[in-house]
Structure 1
Amino acid sequence: MPNFQQDDDVLVSLGYKQELKRDFHLIELFGLVFCMIGVVPAIASVLVYALPNGGPAAMVWGWAGASVFLIFVALAMAELGSAMPTSGGLYYWTHRFSSPRFRNYLAWEVGYINTVAYVSGIAGIDWGCAIQIMAAVSIGTDLEFIPTTGQIYGVFCALLVCHATAASLPTRIIARIQSPYVVLNVLLLLGLLIAIPVATPSEFKNDASFALGNFTNLYRWTDGFAFILSFLAPLWVVGGFDASVHVSEEARNAQIAVPFTVVAATVSGCVLGWALNLVLAFHMGPDVVAVMSNQIGQPLATILFNSFGKKGTLCVWCFIVITQFMSGLGILTVSSRQNFAFSRDGAFPFSRYMYRLNPYTQTPVNSVWMAAFLASLLGLLAFAGPAAIGAVFTMSVIAQYISNSIPIVARFVGGREFKHGPFKLGIFGLPVAVVAVSWMTFMSIVLLFPTAPHPTSQTMNYSVVVVFGVIFLSSVYYFFPKYGGIHWFKGPVVTVEDEGVDSEDQRSGEKAPSTVNEKDL
């Protein structure tokens, strides 16, 4: 049986009282993150970015190569999550391990960048779901219906409302639905791995030389750089390494459940995703351009249509939409908990309201709806063109990698003591961290590039605008004369009076406040 008192004691040692309900068992926490990854629906969303940057060879080998580095990132994050499982996660660790001179500002920036990572993740998942729903309508009408951007945006907003409503429910309800959705995700994936080879007509089956060696570059980058750009697919699908950390205050036996979930979800996502890509490469047909340019508008839907026909595709596609919908619920839940934690420490705008728990559901309902609202604003990028809305996928990865890298680096260079949790890498901790941070830095730079050289306003990568715009604006807010965060933000605050709290890290040894220091715009 989980030791609730032990979980509460660990949280108290980090300076926080227990406010959320610990209703997530280990398998349910894994289910939340695994469903958030959502291998099949996520690949459906980003296959359009992998295929033109290398074709089947990039799908197979690009995914395999990126997976190795993704596991390094997961290991580094799991060790931190096991040591300090708090919903504040990344920005809390940044403040704990950074030098006193820079820790307030770095924690502030990491908190805001992490917020953008999850808001753009919500936008990406729900936009993908909206497109998948419209693709089903197009297939069902024999392509007589082709949705407009406005119609897709309307479905996107409706999905956000549905997800925000569901994410506002009590934690126990959100937790209990995870197990059946894990089963649904796995059955969908296994069903496709078996059914696609059986159902695909011979004219759409490819030999090994094509599936494993054909390189199709539809853009004007060099082949090597195009291959690297194809990494966006596995990076987007297998991301959110800190997701379980943000729900750790609702998890039982968090010091073990969090690292297990981080590593298990990453490894399973990498392996299962590679298996699906391999099957698709062998059964997508020999014409990559035809798959990309089909009126259905979704490469995976086109491949399934060629294999199963209209009725079979619609049947499979319904399950893909359901699993994508659950991915959206998962990431909105995680995002709202990060906003809740950041507001608890007074750093988020309107913290007094974002920190509030609903008296009936005991969940941060205001934070849920704020995350959904911010995602709806990002969705407006769709009206600037396909490349602009595509940036929500890259900006999510970039922001995630920036906010992941800073606490990992701070742990080793900040000069502060690190106390291991149950999960520890031992002597491999530093090498793993070096590989993880180097990978994330490299890919963050790569993903800032546009889809093709010589971009216009329609084809530029808007990730640089949003990510660095947030960094600039949050810095202005921090350094603003008199009212800026530099005058009042002191990092994570203590919400309990307990002798077990690390008073040194609470700041200067002063008596810890009994309630959060709330600051608003």
Structure 2
Amino acid sequence: MDSNGRVASASEGEIREPADDGLDSGERRLNELGYKQELRREMTLFKTFAISFSTMTLFTGITPLYGSSLLYAGPATLVWGWVIVSFFTAFVAVAMAEICSSFPAYAGSQTLQSIILLSTGTNKDGGYLAPRGVFLAMYMGLTVIWAILNTFALDVIAFIDTISIWWQVIGGAVIVVLLPLVAKTTQSASYVFTHFETSESTGIRSKPYAVILSFLVSQYSLYGYDAAAHLTEETKGADINGPIAILSSLGIISVFGWAYILALTFSIQDPSYLYNTSNETAGTFVPAQILYDAFHGRYHNSSGAIVLLVVIWGSFFFGGLSITTSAARVVYALSRDGGIPFSRVWRKVHPKYKVPANAVWLCAVLCMLLGLPILKVNVVFTAITSICTIGWVGGYAVPIFARMVIPGKNFKPGPFFLGRASRPVCLVAFLWICYTCSVFLLPTQYPIKWDTFNYAPMALGIVLGLIMFWWLVDARKWFKGPVRNIGTSHDKV
């Protein structure tokens, strides 16, 4: 027996029983790492799963990038790309689940813009297409709402995200079943599963390169499941419930996401019309045009399309709320170790609601700043999705690489333990992360001009350059890693 009452020689896969000291297993592990419990540990398995599921969301990744991925290489690579990416992403999720056991926004505005356009007429009938200034205002308004809601107790967010699960599961099922039934004609199975076609409008002539870019919709959609890991300090039995929430979120989204892609692709009426800037949705949002064509073709009105777009927009709203929750916990954890400027401010916990409120608002302000280029640059969404994906998925690489190289004797496994399979799984996961981060830095259109340039490499270079500069001139002198705070004042660094 070790000092915590666990069986030292427990075999792989066996649940190790905690000591009967009255502490939650997650709080005990937190104390072992040198941190005192500061946030409320009141999240159950279902609540943690709700936030993790809502962070991924069923529609937020697929809906905004569906059109561009379809354009690059046709339906076959879009459909099968989801299956391939799901397979490799599972390695990352399993690796993160083992580590956890041991330790949206722009597209939402885009969907809202389509709802307003179809509700006030169409692009052909004088409907209102929000200009860039109004679009930016919608984007910022949503961000502020998410920040306000996240300032309250986490239990409020968990309740909202519980609604989110049913909203997305029921709404997603309705869309997947109803859309192909409503469409007057449907595409053949051979078109959906085997048709490959590159588009001259992208300027990309290389077929392998087009396939790589077509996979981006899947790579962007299938992340965020690690939100459960960010909430471990607030989750009961986090060493068990965290991994379950991670794996179940990815599994459900993988299945439902593929069904959603199939429903959209089978329901396409005229592929060439989807991107026409003079069509009913001004060629701005391919899924909205697919919904419009299906319902207008059958019923000669767009009411059904608007209702389903509201369902999709609700998914964006819930996703943005959960992403804000998750991001704030990352900022809080970093600032608790003194790892970012003004850490004393960002690590403060609201005295009543016990949430890192300052960290929430920091994330909201940064999110709004990222949206400012909307006013001038047409390809800002590509840059935003690239930066977000690289930052989020790239963050997985650090603990996974550490788990891969750390000596086994220095790793204390939790109840979810891969045993000898751990290093091979981590290797595949790490290589997949490196590949994913690399492809999001590639140009997405040719020829490369100011209005088609992928600004993600530039933005990433600036951020990394500033961090390196800060490290060389200052941070290396005082930042030593985790800061134990058990038995110390919260205000000490």
Tell me if TM exceeds 0.5: yes
Q: Distance in 2 between matches of 1:225 and 1:257?
A: 40
Residue type matched to 1:473 in 2?
A: L
Residue type matched to 1:62 in 2?
A: G
SS at match of 1:40: coil
Contact 2:403–2:423 under 8 Å retained in 1:
no
- Tell me how large the CA RMSD over aligned residues is: 1.8
Q: What residue number does 1:355 align with?
A: 347
Q: What residue number does 2:256 align with?
A: 272
Q: What residue number does 2:439 align with?
A: 446
1:141 and 2:120 correspond:
yes
- Quote how far apart the aligned CAs of 1:289 are: 5.0
1:194-273 equivalences under 5 Å are 194-202=177-185, 205-218=186-199, 219-221=202-204, 222-273=206-257
Q: What residue number does 2:425 align with?
A: 432
Per-residue CA deviation, residues 135-167 of structure 1 (Å, 9 max, x unaligned), is: 111111222212211110011111111110001
Q: Distance in 1 between matches of 2:157 and 2:102?
A: 25
Q: Identify which of structures 1 and 2 has the higher relative contact order when contacts are C-alpha pairs closer than 8 Å and 6+ apart.
A: 1
1:89-488 equivalences under 5 Å are 125-143=104-122, 144=126, 145-202=128-185, 205-218=186-199, 219-221=202-204, 222-291=206-275, 293=277, 294-296=279-281, 297-309=284-296, 310-415=302-407, 417-480=410-473, 484-488=474-478
Q: What residue number does 1:65 align with?
A: 84
Bigger shift: 211-220 or 341-350? 211-220
Per-residue CA deviation, residues 268-327 of structure 1 (Å, 9 max, x unaligned), is: 111111111112221112424535644512111111111223100111111221221011
Residue type matched to 1:374 in 2?
A: L
- Quote how far apart the aligned CAs of 1:454 are: 3.4
Q: What residue number does 1:489 align with?
A: 479
- Quote how far apart the aligned CAs of 1:411 are: 2.1
Q: Closer, same or farther in 2 for the Cα pair 1:288/1:249, shift >3 Å? A: farther
- Quote how far apart the aligned CAs of 1:242 are: 2.6
Contact 1:343–1:354 under 8 Å retained in 2:
yes
SS at match of 1:459: coil
Q: Distance in 2 between matches of 1:317 and 1:388?
A: 23
Q: Distance in 1 between matches of 2:285 and 2:396?
A: 31
1:53 and 2:40 correspond:
no
Q: Distance in 2 between matches of 1:172 and 1:290?
A: 42
Q: Distance in 1 between matches of 2:23 and 2:223?
A: 29
Q: Any stretches of 5+ residues in structure 2 without a counterpart? A: 1-17, 297-301
Q: Distance in 1 between matches of 2:163 and 2:224?
A: 21
Residue type matched to 2:120 in 1?
A: T
Residue type matched to 2:70 in 1?
A: L
- Quote how far apart the aligned CAs of 1:66 are: 0.9
Residue type matched to 1:80 in 2?
A: I
SS at match of 2:71: coil
Q: Distance in 2 between matches of 1:176 and 1:388?
A: 33
Residue type matched to 2:167 in 1?
A: L
Per-residue CA deviation, residues 471-517 of structure 1 (Å, 9 max, x unaligned), is: 1101111111xxx11111111100114xxxxxxxxxxxxxxx55464
Q: Distance in 2 between matches of 1:229 and 1:212?
A: 18
Q: Distance in 2 between matches of 1:4 and 1:325?
A: 36
Q: What residue number does 2:5 align with?
A: none
Q: What residue number does 2:55 align with?
A: 36
Per-residue CA deviation, residues 233-256 of structure 1 (Å, 9 max, x unaligned), is: 112111124311111111111001
Contact 2:56–2:225 under 8 Å retained in 1:
no
Q: Closer, same or farther in 2 for the Cα pair 1:186/1:4, shift >3 Å? A: farther
Q: Distance in 1 between matches of 2:223 and 2:43?
A: 21
Q: Distance in 2 between matches of 1:197 and 1:363?
A: 44
Bigger shift: 268-277 or 211-220? 211-220
Q: Closer, same or farther in 2 for the Cα pair 1:456/1:517, shift >3 Å? A: farther
SS at match of 1:177: helix
SS at match of 2:61: helix
- Quote how far apart the aligned CAs of 1:216 are: 2.8
Q: What TM-score results when the alignment is normalised by the length of structure 2?
A: 0.89
Contact 1:134–1:147 under 8 Å retained in 2:
yes
Bigger shift: 286-295 or 133-142? 286-295
Q: Distance in 2 between matches of 1:422 and 1:137?
A: 49
- Quote how far apart the aligned CAs of 1:384 are: 3.7
Q: Any stretches of 5+ residues in structure 1 without a counterpart? A: 85-124, 498-512
Q: Distance in 1 between matches of 2:247 and 2:167?
A: 21
Q: Distance in 2 between matches of 1:447 and 1:64?
A: 19
Residue type matched to 1:211 in 2?
A: V
SS at match of 1:51: helix
Q: Closer, same or farther in 2 for the Cα pair 1:76/1:292, shift >3 Å? A: farther
Residue type matched to 1:477 in 2?
A: W
SS at match of 1:273: helix
Residue type matched to 1:185 in 2?
A: Q
Paired positions, count: 457
Q: Distance in 2 between matches of 1:460 and 1:335?
A: 27
Q: What TM-score results when the alignment is normalised by the length of structure 1?
A: 0.84
Contact 2:24–2:236 under 8 Å retained in 1:
no
Q: Percent identity?
A: 30
Residue type matched to 2:216 in 1?
A: L
